[in-house]
Amino acid sequence: MCHDLAVLYADGLLGLILFGLWLFCVIDVITTDESSMRNLPKLPWVLIVVLLFDIGALAWLIAGRPWPASGPRSAPTRTSRAYPEYDRPGRHVPQNPDDDDAFLAQVRARAEEQRRQYQERRKRELDDERGRLTRRPEDDQL
C-alpha cells in the first residue's frame, strides 16, 4: 500500500511538472516577438504548443524559442535573420538624412543643376515669346 501511494504521488508530481512546462511554453510563445521566433511564424507555434501539449512544448523549447542574447554566436549567413541589413554590426548609416554630408551635397548639387536648367529653359521661352510679339507681319513675307 505504501508503494502504491508513492507511485501515485510521483505520477501526480510528474503531471504537475509537465503541466507547468506546458503552461510556461504557451505563455512564452504568446509573449515572444514573432521576428525573433525560429523556424515557423507565431500562429503555427501557438497551435503546436496548445494542441500537442508536452510534445509541442518540447518542440518549442528545442526548435522555436529564440536563443539568448548572451553567449557565443555563430556568424550570420546570407539567409540568417540574425542581423537585418540596416542593423549589421560595423555598418554606420546616419539615422537622420541631415547628418549625412555626402547625401546633402548630392541633394544640393542636383537642386542647383535643376535650377540652372529651369532658368535656361525659361530664358529661351521668354526670348521666343518676345520674338513673336515684336515680329511684324511684313517680316513673315520676306
Taking only the tens place, the pLDDT of each residue in 34-78 is 888 888 999 999 999 999 988 999 999 999 888 876 545 555 555
Report the distance separating Cα 86 and Cα 71, nearest Å. 23
For the record, the C-alpha cell of 103 comes out as 547625401
CB 82 within 8 A of CB 36: no
Q: Which of 58, 3, 66 is nearest to 32 (CA)?
A: 66
Q: What letter represents residue 50's amino acid?
A: V
Give yes or no for residue 7 having a pLDDT over 60. Answer: yes
- For position 9, what pLDDT does the model report? 79
Give yes or no for residue 122 having a pLDDT over 70. Answer: yes
Extents of the domains making up the chain: 1-67, 95-132
Cβ of 88: how many Cβ atoms within 10 Å? 11
Give yes or no for residue 28 having a pLDDT over 90. Answer: yes
Report the distance separating Cα 23 and Cα 8, nearest Å. 22
Q: What letter represents residue 27's amino acid?
A: I
Give yes or no for residue 118 having a pLDDT over 70. Answer: yes
HSE-up of residue 139 (Cα within 13 Å, Cβ side): 6
Report the distance separating Cα 34 and Cα 42, nearest Å. 6
Give the pLDDT band of residue 18 (cuts 50, 70, 90): very high
Q: Which of 25, 31, 20, 14 is nearest to 50 (CA)?
A: 25
pLDDT: is 89 or 38 the higher one? 38
The fraction of the chain above a pLDDT of 70, given in percent, is 74
